[in-house]
Chain A
Amino acid sequence: MMLKAKLLKARMLKAKIAGHVLTLAATVLLGGLLSAVLVRLAPGFDVDERELDPHLSAQSVQALRAAREQDQNIFRFYLSYMNRVAHGDLGKSFSLGQPVRTLLRDRAPTTLRLLALGLAMAWVAALALALSAAWLKASIFDAASTLLSAALLCLPAAVLALLSVLWNISGSLAIALIVFPRIYRYSRNLLTRSYSLPHIVTARAKGLGEARILLWHAIPGIAPQLLALAGVSVSMAVGAAIPVEALCGLPGVGQLAWQAALGRDLPLLVNITILVTLVTLLANSGADVIGQVFRSQES
């Protein structure tokens, strides 16, 4: 009976992982199609300045045109585009005149550093305040932190970025301030609910230490939800990277996306969006699979 249940859980986990892999594959294929269509329809696609070279013979010009003829069919173009992407060639940005791959490679470290620091600060602050709220029920401290998170939720991310420039605070702190209220609200509710559960009330009544209650009883019960929130928080932070990098003058992927949007550089913008989608999907899928493992171990 036990073995059967274990096998069933393992099968469910495999199905979940397969589902996530399928979603990722569908995103790549659909995103690739969208990207190919936009690249194909981008202004200047049919133009090749080499045709203006007076040194080229009529036959050479004809050969160049014949080579481009193959790209007229959108599906053939899609296949060749996906083939190039598989080999790491993401195309060229027409507004910046550089390969998309180079641009992303140069700017990714700034964004990764910004997001990692911002997320770490937001999580530490949110969990510390949420725990305090759960321990000290209905305190002034709880009311103040709830009010702070409510006020931050009412501010547009771009305004927080502008204020961070005005007050000379780092971009990662701006990211933390944007993500913090969402994490705080959810984790506070989870922890408050968890601390009112009968087995935790009993553990407290029996005199178990707060640290032991937290690590052995409260956190394991809400770990799947917290993991899901961790996945979502990556998505929130990535979204916040656009205004923060654009307005704080940080040369990251978010600023690149903004510049691409202003310059209507669709190939660059779509490539960035697909990559960002893949990163957030991976984060969410990872969180979901780990959460599933937690759940199956608990039951």
Chain B
Amino acid sequence: MNLWQKLASALLAGVLCAAATASWLAPRGYAGQDREAISEPPSRAHWLGTDELGRDRFARVLYGTRISLLLAPAAALLSTLMAAVIGGLAGYLGGTWARMAMAVTDLFLSLPWLFLLITARALMPLNVSPLFSVVVTFLLLGLLGWTTAARVLCASAASLRSADFVRQARAVGVSGQRLFWIHVLPNLKPVLFAQFWISIPVFILSEANLGILGLGVAEPMPSWGSLLKELEGLVSVGEEPWKFVPLALLVLVVMSFQSLLARQEEMTA
């Protein structure tokens, strides 16, 4: 692990700790209003100032971090599992199954990701409870984000199909189902890990895009996307620089994930 990767790990650990202890660090919560302090600059009472509803921005950043950092890996896990089953099975079975699965995958891949997301999001009701909006947003990311990983896993599983140990297992009469779950899938673990790590920053960025466009997590629940929406009304960067804290945090976290992904790739190689 080089210096950058160590720094990235430390930063991620720090951010995760802060997000986990959000209720202790910001006891007023993300929705608590201070009507005497509307759109205030940073002060001792409100470290990052308040928004136009008098809510503490520091608390909202902490809770937003908690939501984004908890649910992006959850969505990544879901999409990786879907990719493992769809791509892995298609590669393992080969022939018509693989062609059909890959044709569907290619069709999904040809759709620009954001178009697909906003279409799927618009199919759901928009005036839902905040908690439901969080679940829907990240569930959609997980359910629609499996395609690239499925392609990679299909190719990996196809190469395993003709591996010696699989042929030997088949020769001694191991059933197809057992062969897939016990022998093929565990050997796809490094690829699965890599795809999981790749998906996390992609989903964090996608949620941010949806949030800024008003199609992500609903108010008053904070997420990085909804916090970044505050940048919309700015006239200049120097006007209220503290509003850029969520963006700085997001960039640092995504950079850390990408730095650790490089480490993961080195280990896989």
For chain B residues 198-226, which have a beta carbon within 8 Å of chain A?
201, 205, 208-209, 212-215, 225
For chain B residues 88-136, which have a beta carbon within 8 Å of chain A?
103, 106-107, 110-116, 118-119, 121-123, 125-126
The answer to whether B231 has its CB under 8 Å from any CB of chain A is: yes
Known: A246-B213, A273-B119. A162 touches B231 (CB 8 A): yes
Write the nearest CB–CB distance from B37 to chain A, whole angstroms.
25
- Residues of chain A touching chain B, judged by Cβ–Cβ distance below 8 Å, are 23, 26-27, 30, 38, 150-151, 153-159, 162-163, 166, 235-236, 238-240, 242-243, 246-247, 257-258, 260-262, 264, 266, 269-270, 272-273, 276-277, 280-281, 284
- A283's nearest neighbour on chain B, judged by CB, is B110
Task: A75 to B168: give the CA distance in the assembly, Å.
Answer: 50
Are B114 and A23 in contact (CB-based, < 8 A)? no
Are A243 and B119 in contact (CB-based, < 8 A)? no
Which residue in B116, B236, B258 is a CB contact (below 8 Å) of A273?
B116
- B224's nearest neighbour on chain A, judged by CB, is A156
The answer to whether B232 has its CB under 8 Å from any CB of chain A is: yes
- B211's nearest neighbour on chain A, judged by CB, is A158
User: Which residues of B sit under 8 angstroms from A277, Cβ to Cβ?
Assistant: 107, 110-111, 115
Q: Interface stretch among B173-181, B185-193, B246-254?
A: B246-254
Are B112 and A238 in contact (CB-based, < 8 A)? yes
Are B213 and A243 in contact (CB-based, < 8 A)? yes
Are A270 and B119 in contact (CB-based, < 8 A)? yes
- Residues of chain B touching chain A, judged by Cβ–Cβ distance below 8 Å, are 103, 106-107, 110-116, 118-119, 121-123, 125-126, 201, 205, 208-209, 212-215, 225, 228, 231-232, 234-237, 247, 250-251, 254-255, 258
Are A162 and B232 in contact (CB-based, < 8 A)? yes
Task: A23 to B208: give the CA distance in the assembly, Å.
Answer: 32
Are B251 and A154 in contact (CB-based, < 8 A)? yes
Are B212 and A162 in contact (CB-based, < 8 A)? yes
User: Which residues of A sit under 8 angstroms from B106, Cβ to Cβ?
Assistant: 23
Task: A162 to B246: give the CA distance in the assembly, Å.
Answer: 14
Task: A159 to B122: give the CA distance in the assembly, Å.
Answer: 21
User: Which residues of B sit under 8 angstroms from A23, Cβ to Cβ?
Assistant: 103, 106-107
Are A156 and B209 in contact (CB-based, < 8 A)? yes
Are A242 and B213 in contact (CB-based, < 8 A)? yes
Which residue in B119, B125, B235 is a CB contact (below 8 Å) of A261?
B119
26 sampled A-B residue pairs with Cβ under 8 A = A23-B107, A26-B107, A27-B110, A154-B205, A156-B225, A157-B209, A159-B228, A162-B231, A163-B231, A235-B110, A235-B112, A236-B112, A239-B112, A240-B114, A242-B213, A247-B232, A257-B115, A260-B122, A261-B121, A264-B126, A269-B118, A270-B119, A276-B111, A277-B107, A280-B111, A280-B112
